[in-house]
Structure 1
Amino acid sequence: MPVLVITGTGTEVGKTVTTAAVAAAAVAAGRSVAVLKAAQTGVRPDERGDADEVARLAGPVTTAELARYPEPLAPGTAARRAGMEPVRPRQVAEAAAKLAAEHDLVLVEGAGGLLVRFDAAGGTLADAAGLLGAPVLLVASAGLGTLNTTELTARELRGRGVELLGVVIGSWPGSPDLASRCNVADLPEVAAAPLLGALPEGAGALPPADFRRAAAGWLAPRLAGTWQAEAFREREAP
């Protein structure tokens, strides 16, 4: 798995922190890691972006960013409003392939969900994953409403012939409600893919050293971690 594409069921589901955890676990396992942010929106040129946040939390990783747009919008819309060139799926695929030639693992983080548009032609992260032949890791929220968006994303990937590696819960609450607890069993069922981890709420606020020490415990062995889905399900499911 030289390239892993990471997307979310939407915005603010813990995608960047999950990317950092996957990177930290891989680095701890002795792998060289690069993180590619396809398109960064809502950040000024002098501000830190998502790739910078991954590096802050995960440690020694290579970071790359293809484009940056000032307004917090879908990349295609943000590019158009800024009068800037959009990012296209082939550019994402080419940049990831180049990084993969120099690193053991490349993590490609999207913006928002799988079908958020990069350009006027409707190019998306799903197109980039297809060009790369790379699996996708889906970051989902824990609570009510997540089953629908998770299943829709999984169906889209299957329809395109793109592998869904699994699902990670991007922020597991300290006091989960009934819907969240039921979703532990339901998420892998609707996704037809394994649950590969659950990050605790507030993980991104940990000091970097603590984050790196804990990251492997939030992720399954498929992601170089030690987290066990069955034990989590027995503990958290109603």
Structure 2
Amino acid sequence: MSVLVVTGTGFGVGKTVVAAAVAVLARERGSSVAVVKPAQTGDGHDLDEVIRLSGVATTFELARFAEPLSPAAAARLEGVPPVSLAGAARFVGELAESNRLVVVEGTGGLLVRFDEDGATIADLARLVGAQVLVVTGAGLGALNHAALTLEALANRGLGLAGVVIGRWPGDPGVAERSDVADLEMLAARPLAGVLPEGAGRLGREAFARCAREGIGATLGGSFDPAADARHAELVRRVGITPPSTRTPGPFREGPRRQYG
């Protein structure tokens, strides 16, 4: 059994689609998988998307707030108790006893506040002993957001499951192409996946194929950035240096954990 926390470097980077991709790959391998959303804010329906894309029906939304704010701010505005991440951690731990993989999708970024004491999804990851999968965009601003997230993970002693680009554009510019090597340098490892923009609009069968092709082996897919034609083209066109020869970021290569 294992728990994987999926967080984003910001809003709209493809976190829900990546969570669904990890879930469908685990389901295809015959693993029991559950997906948990500790707090949904605004009018989004992230778990409905996970169910539609992955076919995984064991999903749990622990709290819902009307306003698209941080869970702490949304609860305060509504005058209701905030999410108890300690309670969420206990619930996730119980789920992990009966499921081979539990995917926990955060709200917003790693340090978004869930209560007035400043508890974050990073605290939940620590409580359940989970590694964290970071979903990022590509393009201007992406590297700074990714660097801050990875630094916060490292400073808290949390394990990094990998970095996935959640929305790779169909016509990437030089900023997007250049980000590949720099993201790998920051994470001190190859990308754990690249999903195309629009993957969330696919049907279930097409999405499963997209997940297999776009997610790396440690998460159950077949994506290999070193062999992928897109990656090779980026190296050729941008003239980037392979990350193994560059100064690494806050993380160092360590044992890889297989999920599901």
Identity of aligned residues (%): 53
| Residue type at the aligned position of 1:236 | L
Shift of 1:193: 4.2
Rounded to whole Å, the distance in 1 between the matches of 2:56 and 2:106 is: 21
| 1:118 matched to 2:114 | yes
TM-score (norm 2): 0.87
Following the alignment from structure 1 to structure 2, what is the Cα–Cα distance between the partners of residues 235 and 34?
A: 37
**Structure 2 contact 9–135 (Cα < 8 Å) conserved:** yes
1:12-53 Cα offsets, whole Å, 9 max, x none, are: 00000110111111111111110000100003xxxx721121
* Partner Cα separation in structure 1 for residue 89 and residue 225 of structure 2: 31
Quick check: 189-198 or 55-64, which moved more? 189-198
Residue of structure 2 in register with 1:236 after alignment? 234
Shift of 1:88: 2.4
- Give 1:3's aligned amino acid: V
* Structure-1 separation of matches of 2:225 and 2:86: 35
TM-score of the pair, normalised by structure 1: 0.95
Secondary structure at the counterpart of residue 172 of structure 2: coil
Q: For the Cα contact (< 8 Å) 2:23–2:56, is it kept in 1?
A: no
Contact 1:219–1:226, Cα closer than 8 Å, also in 2: yes
Unaligned ranges ≥5, structure 2? 239-260
1:32/1:61 contact within 8 Å kept: no
> How many residues get paired?
234
Deviations 1:34-81 (A, max 9, x none): 0000100003xxxx7211210110013310011000111111000111
The ranges of structure 1 where at least 4 consecutive aligned residues each deviate by more than 6 angstroms after the TM superposition are none
Residue range with higher mean Cα deviation, 53-62 or 9-18: 53-62
Q: Indicate the RMSD between aligned Cα atoms, in angstroms.
A: 1.2
SS in 1 for 2:10: coil
The residue number in structure 2 matching 1:32 is 32
Counterpart for residue 222 of structure 1: 218
Q: For 1:143 and 1:207, locate their aligned partners in 2 and report how far apart those are by CA, in whole Å.
A: 27
Distance of 1:192 and 1:82 partners within structure 2: 42
Q: Say which is worse superposed, 207-216 or 128-137, in terms of deviation.
A: 207-216
Q: Say whether 1:71 aligns with 2:61.
A: no
Displacement of 1:101 in angstroms is 1.0
2:13 is matched with 13
Counterpart contact for 2:19–2:50, Cα < 8 Å: yes
Between structure 1 and structure 2, the one with the greater Rg is 2
Q: C-alpha distance in 2, partners of 1:68/1:229?
A: 37
Equivalent-residue separation in structure 2 for 1:72 and 1:100 (angstroms): 29
Q: Secondary structure at the match of 1:166?
A: strand
Aligned to 1:2: 2
What is aligned with 1:179?
A: 175
Structure 2 residue 158 is matched with structure 1 residue 162: yes
